[in-house]
Amino acid sequence: MSPSITRPALVEAVGALALIFLGAGSIIADQITGGKVGLVGIAFAHGLAIVTMVAAAGHVSGGHFNPAVTLGFVATRRMPVGTGITYILAQLVGASVGGLLLTAVFPEAARMAVNLGTPALGRGVSAGTGIVVEAVLTFFLVFVIFGVAVDARGERAIAPLAIGLVIVMDILGAGVLTGAAMNPARAFGPALFSGFWANHAVYWIGPFIGGVLGAWVYTYLMQRPGK
């Protein structure tokens, strides 16, 4: 691996690790405290993890931390396919390390009760509905990323905050339906160490559809040609 891709890949792994350890960890913490963290706390744990990681290292890799975001960049030809694959692999490795650390530090009973924070469909939510929900939520996320961090006209100074707040918004609005993962790595890391793979495809198909649509809509409908 060349030095030009090593540093961005490492950053992508670290960002994904932070999202899993702090995001999924907040769900386990909510279980331990009997619900004191709450949905708001869980939403902000995920959002703040991304705010801080994008602010700290977005200038190194772009701060994707999410295979769906990376696919959006590849689909709009902002990133070579090979680089995109490297990013996605790094994100999955980071998420897996995050899952491993959760297994190591949290009590077994608490982590098993919530399947290590692995996202799951709510009661009565079908896989098809879950795909639609995850696609819509990820569309919002990627649309905002392209608006504040990719478009030269965007408010880049507030990009980390805007991106983090979209995640908070999505979890508050639809976390009860699917867990609002918006990110295949967010589902993969905890699932790998909890063994909870129910409806796992939802968390790949939905975010990939939403990520590509969000990137395409912003790139081809909101930006001037060549920008």
Domain extents in the chain: 3-222
Q: Please identify which residue in the block is written with the tokens 């994707």.
A: 64
pLDDT band, residue 192 (cuts 50/70/90): very high
For residue 226, pLDDT over 90 is answered with no
Q: What is the mean pLDDT of residues 10-18?
A: 98
Q: Residue 13, Cβ neighbours under 10 Å: how many?
A: 24
pLDDT attached to residue 224: 62
Q: What is the mean pLDDT of residues 102-124?
A: 97
Torsion sign across C-alpha atoms 18, 21, 24, 26: negative
pLDDT attached to residue 207: 98
For residue 94, pLDDT over 70 is answered with yes
* 201: three-class secondary structure by DSSP: coil
Rounded Cα distance between 65 and 94, Å, is 9
We find that the CATH architecture of domain 3-222 is: Up-down Bundle (1.20)
For residue 1, pLDDT over 70 is answered with no
Q: What is the mean pLDDT of residues 112-130?
A: 98
Q: What is the pLDDT of the chain when averaged over all its residues?
A: 96
Residues 64/73, Cβ–Cβ less than 8 Å: yes
Rounded Cα distance between 204 and 202, Å, is 5
Q: What is the mean pLDDT of residues 128-157?
A: 96
Residue 119 tokens read as: 């996202």
